[in-house]
DNA sequence: TAGAGCGAGTTCTATTGTCGAACTTACGCC
DNA sequence: GGCGTAAGTTCGACAATAGAACTCGCTCTA
């Protein structure tokens, strides 16, 4: 049976899930954000099957999150760079980071790593807010509705 | 081959990916946030295999995002309610919503649905910021580092 | 100039996971 | 006693994954 696809669903969550709803794609993107560019860099860092890596990188290129660039003619060598769309995905990883840090470590323990601001050196804690009010998102105060003509 | 597990990885993104890195879990959670509670509600809304649904709901209960409650003794009837941990996952879906809305529709088009504030009725646009500064997250200004004793 | 090495994949096979349908259990109603 | 409903479990066909080996184009070295 073919995996169910959500890429033409009317819901933005479903479409995003179609894009990253497997165990390697978010991790591959994480590595891209950490500055990895070359096939074997990804492969060594993640020790995943080369076949799966090729498929995932290909998908991310097809979807426009990565750009496959020739950085050397002879012999031909490629690198994968984040596009504007790829960079725009970072907030999703940041939200995952926050949830994981807050909820996926045993009692009293915390993850060994943290995010820092390069300039100030201060720790950064991602938080999801409403862009207009600046208030933290509270699901109990939200509803989903049809798009308004002037909205969004 | 057994699927690679990330549930004991040192990276919060990897652990979160382990939890939701498949095609149905985020969608099941979305439905839970939309107020769905009963097995057949989920099944009818999503038309996914009952086997897969049972496995996913079970995992979410095991992980503490859903609570399985008996709401009727005879005949025995159950419902799945979001826990505090489950509610804490909403920001991740909100970030996915924003990315999907902004980037996964063809030129000039927009998704048919939108988020609204229940009280004000105004559209809500999720944005990921740094909790301390309130500034939007910019991956180019971040670095990952070892946790500081007083940090985080 | 033969061979080792490297980057970037592709191909192969065994094992798992997923889909969809059918089946089961436990009860309530008529 | 049979039908309906909630909440699953079981089953078989098919798809995806992991890991290893192989290919291809090229460079460097002895």
- Chain B CB contacts of A99 below 8 Å: 12, 16, 88-89, 91-92
Q: Considering only CB atoms, which chain A residues are within 8 Å of B19? A: 104
Question: B122-139: buried (b, 16+ CB within 10 Å) or exposed (e) per residue?
Answer: ebbbbbbbbeeeeeebeb
Asked if A107 has any chain B CB less than 8 Å from its own CB, the reply is no
Closest-lying nucleotide for A78 based on CA to C1': C8
Domains annotated on chain B, with CATH: 12-141 (1.10.10.10)
> In chain A, which residue's Cα lies nearest the Cα of B65?
A103
Q: Please say if the pLDDT value at position A151 is more than 50.
A: no
CA triple B24-A62-B143, angle to 5 deg: 75
**What is the distance in angstroms measured between the alpha-carbon CA of B40 and the sugar C1' of D5?**
10
**Of A70, A20, A26, A65, which is closest to residue A48 (Cα–Cα)?**
A26
Higher pLDDT, A65 or A150: A65
In this predicted model, what pLDDT tens digit does every residue of B116-126 receive, in sequence order?
999 999 999 99
What residues of chain A lie within 8 A of the CB of B86, using their CB?
A: none
Residues 6+ apart with CB under 8 A from B134: A129, A134
Q: How many Å from the CA of A74 to C1' of C2?
A: 21
What's the start-to-end Cα distance of chain B, in Å? 38
Q: Out of A18-22, B98-102, B139-143, which region has the weakest mean confidence (pLDDT)?
A: A18-22
pLDDT band at B12 (very low <50, low <70, confident <90, very high): very high
B99: tokens are 């990315």
**Cβ–Cβ under 8 Å, residues A83 and A66:** yes
Q: Measure the CA–CA gap between A5 and A143, rounded to whole angstroms.
A: 25
pLDDT for res B5: 87
Interatomic CA distance for residues A149 and B87, integer angstroms: 30
The 3 state secondary structure assigned to A112-146 is CEEEEECCCCCECCEEEEECCCCCECCHHHEEEEE
User: Which residues of chain A have a CB within 8 Å of the CB of B126?
Assistant: 128-131, 137
**Does the C-beta of A73 come within 7 A of strand D?**
no
Structure tokens at A71: 């950085």
Does the pLDDT of residue B152 top 50, yes or no?
Answer: no
Q: Which residue has the higher pLDDT, B99 or A4?
A: B99
B27 in reach of chain A (CB within 8 A): yes
Helices (H) then strands (E): counts for chain A: 6, 5
Q: Is the pLDDT of residue A36 over 60?
A: yes
Q: What pLDDT is stored for residue B22 in this prediction? A: 84
Whether B79 sits with its Cβ under 7 A from any strand D atom: the answer reads yes
Instruction: Report whether pLDDT(A77) > 80.
Output: yes
Number of A–B residue contacts, CB under 8 Å = 278
Judge whether A99 and B19 are in contact, CB under 8 Å. Answer: no
Under 8 Å between Cβ of B149 and B140: no
Interface of A with B in 75-94 (CB under 8 A): 85, 87-94
Q: Which two tokens stand for residue A111?
A: 């993850």
Q: A108, exposed or middle or buried, with CB in 10 Å at 0-12, 13-18, 19+?
A: exposed
Bond from prior residue into A75 cis (ω within 30 degrees of 0)? yes
pLDDT reading at B149 higher than 70: yes
| CB B69 within 7 Å, strand D | no
Res. B23: pLDDT tops 50? yes
**Predicted local distance difference test score (pLDDT) of residue B75:** 84
Query: What is the pLDDT confidence band of residue A152, given thresholds at 50, 70 and 90?
Result: very low
Instruction: Write the pLDDT tens digit of every residue in A51-71.
Output: 999 999 999 999 999 999 998
Distance (Å) from the C-alpha of residue A68 to the closest C-alpha of chain B?
19
At residue B103, the pLDDT reads 97
- Decide if B46 touches A, using CB distance below 8 A: no
Q: Between residues B75 and A132, which one has the greater pLDDT? A: A132
Share of chain A above pLDDT 70, in %: 97
Give, in degrees to the nearest 5, the angle at Cα A18 between B128 and B82: 60
The tokens for A130 are 């409403």
Please tell me if residue B35 touches chain A, with a CB cutoff of 8 Å.
Answer: no
**Band of the pLDDT at B130, cuts 50, 70, 90?**
very high
Q: Taking CB atoms and an 8 Å cutoff, what residues of chain A touch B145?
A: 113-116
DSSP for residue B5: P
Predicted confidence (pLDDT) per residue in A87-121, tens digit: 999 999 999 999 999 999 999 999 999 999 999 99
């Amino acid at each position: 049976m073919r995996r169910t696809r959500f890429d033409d669903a009317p819901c933005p969550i479903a479409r995003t899930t179609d894009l990253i709803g497997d165990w390697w794609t978010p991790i591959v993107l994480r590595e891209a954000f950490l500055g990895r560019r070359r096939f074997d860099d990804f492969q060594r860092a993640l020790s995943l099957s080369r076949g799966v890596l090729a498929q995932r990188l290909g998908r991310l290129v097809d979807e426009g999150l990565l750009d496959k660039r020739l950085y050397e003619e002879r012999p031909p060598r490629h690198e994968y760079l984040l596009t504007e769309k790829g960079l725009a995905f970072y907030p999703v990883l940041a939200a995952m980071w926050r949830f994981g840090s807050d909820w996926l470590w045993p009692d009293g323990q915390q993850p060994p790593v943290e995010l820092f601001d390069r300039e100030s050196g201060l720790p950064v804690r991602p938080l999801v807010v409403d862009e207009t009010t600046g208030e933290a998102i509270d699901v109990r105060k939200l509803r989903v509705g049809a798009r308004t003509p002037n909205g969004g």
